[in-house]
């Protein structure tokens, strides 16, 4: 989600939009970063069910009411969703739907009305792929305003020199000569599906090797 926010902010800025990012900080203090894309990291008092509690978000959104043409909110984010419900922005609202809430089912019963309000209020909903949107029961009633915007990665040609990339790849292949490599990179958390890949690796032949990269709470178990 954080990478998508960055990429969209940079893309819109290149098209002469004025963009500001509001997000949760990992610490209690609020940090304001100036620059071409101002970033305000709002202090968090705690975290509940993977959601940062940032009470100052309500006031920050309210102060910006008259200045925003578009509010682009990335879900799941119950705190941001609640803040929009309470501040009722007059701007256009774009919901970027990254994932259904699948684990916190009890809390979802309380949150569901707030989430449904935002989906109804949204002027547009962005989903990352047609199959994902079609599999989400929350998006089904709102498909008339769903648009598909895949999450992307930066062009490696622009971020890492070609020779450097080739040398890194060669170094990895040299460790496993003659093997077909399946490489997966990401945060080791329950909804990423790394456990499925590990289980499926049992059915691969000895000529194929699975490599995982990343860190997270499931790293040791995986």
Using the 8-state DSSP alphabet, how is residue 124 labeled? Answer: E
Lowest mean pLDDT among 42-46, 59-63, 77-81: 42-46
Place of tokens 């101002």: 38
106, pLDDT greater than 90: no
Q: How is residue 122 written in tokens? A: 């949204």
Q: Which pLDDT score, from 0 to 100, does residue 159 have?
A: 65
Give the span between the Cα atoms of 130 and 149, in whole angstroms.
Answer: 9
Both tokens assigned to 5: 């926010």
For the full predicted model, state whether its pTM sits above 0.95. no
| Cα–Cα distances in angstroms (integers) from residue 143 to residues 132, 136, 220, in the given order | 12, 10, 40
Backbone conformation region of residue 89, classed left if phi is above 0, alpha if psi is from -120 to 50, else beta: beta
pLDDT above 90 (res 191): no
Lowest mean pLDDT across 35-49, 57-71, 191-205: 35-49
Please tell me the distance from the alpha carbon of residue 28 to that of residue 18, in angstroms, as a whole number. 27
3-state helix, strand, coil in the chain (%, to 5): 40, 20, 35
Decide if pLDDT at 156 tops 90: no
Residue intervals in the chain for CATH 3.40.50.2000:
2-148
Residue that wins the pLDDT comparison between 99 and 120: 120
Residue 187 near residue 215, CB atoms below 8 Å: yes
Superfamily of domain 2-148: Glycogen Phosphorylase B; (3.40.50.2000)
Average pLDDT for 1-24: 92
Lowest mean pLDDT among 40-49, 71-80, 112-121, 169-178: 40-49
Task: Supply the angle between the helices 78-87 and 56-63 in degrees, to the nearest 10.
Answer: 50
| Residue 30 near residue 40, CB atoms below 8 Å | yes
Q: What average pLDDT does the segment 95-99 reach?
A: 93
pLDDT at 153: 76
Q: How many angstroms separate the CA atoms of 45 and 53, rounded?
A: 6
Question: Is residue 130 very low, low, confident or very high in pLDDT (cuts 50, 70, 90)?
Answer: very high
Among 20-34, 125-139, 157-171, the least confident range: 157-171
Position 118 scores a pLDDT of 95
* Cβ neighbours around 46 below 10 Å, total: 9
Average pLDDT, the chain: 89
- CA atoms of 160 and 148, how far apart (whole Å): 28
pLDDT number for residue 151 = 86
């Amino acid at each position: 989600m954080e990478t998508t926010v960055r990429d969209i902010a940079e893309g819109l800025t290149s098209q002469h939009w004025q963009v500001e990012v509001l997000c949760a900080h990992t610490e209690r203090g609020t940090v304001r970063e100036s620059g071409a894309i101002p970033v305000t990291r709002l202090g968090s008092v705690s975290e509940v069910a993977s959601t940062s509690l940032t009470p100052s978000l309500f006031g920050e959104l309210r102060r910006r009411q008259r200045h925003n043409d578009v509010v682009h909110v990335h879900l799941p984010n119950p705190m941001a969703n609640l803040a929009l419900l309470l501040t009722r922005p007059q701007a256009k609202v774009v919901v970027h739907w990254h994932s259904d809430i699948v684990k916190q089912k009890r809390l979802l019963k309380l949150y569901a009305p707030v989430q449904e309000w935002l989906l109804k209020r949204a002027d547009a909903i962005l989903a990352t792929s047609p199959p994902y949107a079609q599999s989400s029961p929350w998006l089904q009633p709102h498909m008339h305003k769903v648009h598909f915007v895949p999450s992307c990665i930066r062009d490696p040609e622009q971020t890492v020199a070609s020779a450097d990339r080739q040398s890194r790849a060669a170094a990895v292949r040299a460790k496993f000569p003659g093997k077909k490599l399946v490489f997966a990179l990401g945060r080791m958390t329950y909804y990423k599906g790394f456990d499925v890949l590990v289980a499926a690796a049992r059915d691969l032949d000895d000529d194929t090797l699975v490599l995982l990269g990343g860190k997270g709470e499931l790293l040791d178990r995986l």
